[in-house]
Amino acid sequence: MKKIVKNKKILIYAITTLILISLIVGGIFFFSKDNEEKTQNKETINNYVAYVKINPLIKIEYSQTCKNDTCNDPIVTKYELVNDDAKDIYKDIDLIGTNNNLYDVITLISKTAEENNIEFENVEIYSNWDNLNNYIDNSNKDNYKWSYIVNVRDKENLEDISSSLEQNKVLYNVEFETDGGNEINTQTIEKGNLVKQPTTPTKKGYKFIEWQLNGEKFDFKQEITSNIILKAKWEKIETSNNNSNKNENNTNTNTTTNNQNNNENTTNNSSNNNQNTNESTNTTPNEEDTHKGFINLNDNVQYYKGTSCGGYQAIKASCFNKTYRELMAEFPNNYSAELDDPETLEWLSLDEVPYEKSSLVGYFPGCKTTVSSSIQNTINSTPGFYGEFRDNGFMKPNWIYFTDSKYNKFIGETNNFEKYGLYDITACGGGGSGELTYYTLDENACEKYNLSCDRW
C-alpha cells in the first residue's frame, strides 16, 4: 500500500513539473513574440545635415522616420541662411512654411535664386545622408534646366568643409576606387590644395601597391585642380599552400618515374619536401614586417581629442619689437580705438612693446597675415595633428592623444609652429578641462589626423 502511495506522489510531482515547464516555455515564447512585434513596430528617426550651394549658401537640418523597413520622405526641420547672398535673397521667405518636404525645399531654394537673377546651371548639395542621390533622382520629375550635384560626406568631413563653402571657395572631389577592397571616403579639397593620402586599403589575398590616376602612380604632392578618381593597384599574394601543392605534385612524379630507386627517392623527396616547405615558410610575408609603421585598427585603439581654447595666428614679422606708438604710425587707419582712450593710456604706455601676441594682433589687425597653401599642407601632414585654417591666417589646432602611450611613436611634433610664422594667441579664462570623451580609432580618424593605419 505504501509503495502505491509513493508511486502516486512521484507521478503527481512529475505532472506538476511538466505543467510548470510548459507555463515557463509558453511565457518565454509569448514574451519573445511580444518583444519582436514591438521591435518591428518601433519607429526610428534619423537626423541629417545638408548644405545647398548655388551662390547663396543655406544649411538645412532634416530628418527621416522609418518603420518596418519603410521610410517616409525626409522633412526639413530647420535651416540657416549662411552667407550674405542667402540672407539677402531669402530674408522674406519662410522656406518650410507651407511644405517642408526636403525635395520641395531644395526646389524652392533653386527657383527663388533663379527669380532673383542668380545665374547657375548646377545646384551643389553636400550632405551626410548616403541615400540622398537616389532620393533626388527619384523625386526630380520636373525636368528643370539646372541639375543637382550631390556630394555625400560623413558628418565630420561635412563640418570641415563648411567654412570653405561659406567663403565660396572652389572645391573638388577626390574619390577612391578600391576594386573590392575596403571603402575609402571621398575627400573634398579646396582648389590648389593637396589631398591627404588615405589609410592603406586592404583586400583579402592581395597586397596594396599604389594609388593611380589614369594608369599612372599618383603623386600626393600634386595640387588638386579638378575632380579626380584614384584607383587602387593590387598584387596577388602567393601563399605557402600553393607552393606546397606544387612541391607535392613534383614529388609524386619523381616517385612514379624512379621505381628502381624507390627507397633512395623516397628519402630524397622527403628531404626536398622539407626544404621546399621551409623555403615557402620563409618567403611568406611576416605580418609585423608587412605592417611596420602602421597602427592595427583591430587592436581597438582608444584616443581622445585635444585642442586649445584659443588658437594660432599668422603674424607679420615686421610687427615684432615695435612699440605701440611705432605700430600706430605704421597702421594709422587700422588699430584699436582703445589706444586713443585716456583710460587705456593710464595703465598702458605707448612706448612699450606689446608683450603678448594676442595683444599685438588685438590692437593691430594689420599685423595679421595669411598662411600659404603649402604651409597649411605641411602642417596638416604632421601625424596626429589637424589644423583648421581660416582666411585671416588663424588656425584652430586639433591634436590626437592615445590612452596607451605605446602608440605615441606614431605622432609627430605638433607644437613648433613659430617657424611657420604662427604664434599662440590663446587667451583662456578659468574653469576645469571637463571630462574627456574617448573614441575608438578608425579609418576616418586616421585619414583626418594623417596616421598610417591598417587592419590585420
Q: What is the mean pLDDT of residues 222-250?
A: 75
Residue type, 387: G
| Domain membership flag for residue 224 | no
**Residue 202 one-letter amino acid:** T
335 pLDDT exceeds 50? yes
Q: Could you tell me if residue 434 is inside a domain?
A: yes
How far apart are the C-alpha atoms of 55 and 85, rounded to whole Å?
7
The whole model's pTM is what? Answer: 0.43
pLDDT of residue 269: 47
**Same domain, yes or no: 276 and 318:** no
Q: What is the pLDDT of residues 377-428, one digit of tens each?
A: 888 888 888 888 887 788 888 888 898 888 888 887 666 788 888 888 875 5
Tell whether the model's pLDDT for residue 131 goes beyond 70: yes
* Residue matched to cell numbers 586639433: 398
Band the pLDDT of 264: cuts 50, 70, 90: very low
How many domains in the chain?
A: 3
Mark whether 247 and 326 lie in a shared domain.
no
Both 306 and 449 in one domain: the answer is yes
Q: Above pLDDT 70, what percent of the chain? A: 76
Residue 244 lies in domain: 240-280
Q: What is the mean pLDDT of residues 25-30?
A: 67
Q: Do residues 259 and 400 share a domain?
A: no
Task: Supply φ then ψ for residue 350, to 5 degrees.
Answer: -70, -10
- Tell me which residue of 153, 107, 162, 158 sits closest to 130, measured CA to CA: 153
Q: Which of 152, 168, 184 is the last residue of a domain?
A: 168
**Final residue belonging to a domain, choices 168, 184, 211:** 168
Q: Which amino acid is at 356?
A: E
pLDDT in tens, 194-235: 888 888 899 888 999 999 998 899 999 999 988 899 999 999
Torsion of Cα atoms, 279 then 281 then 282 then 287, to 10°: 160
> 369 and 438, same structural domain?
yes
Give the C-alpha separation, 17 to 39, whole Å.
Answer: 33
Q: Is residue 2 part of a domain?
A: no
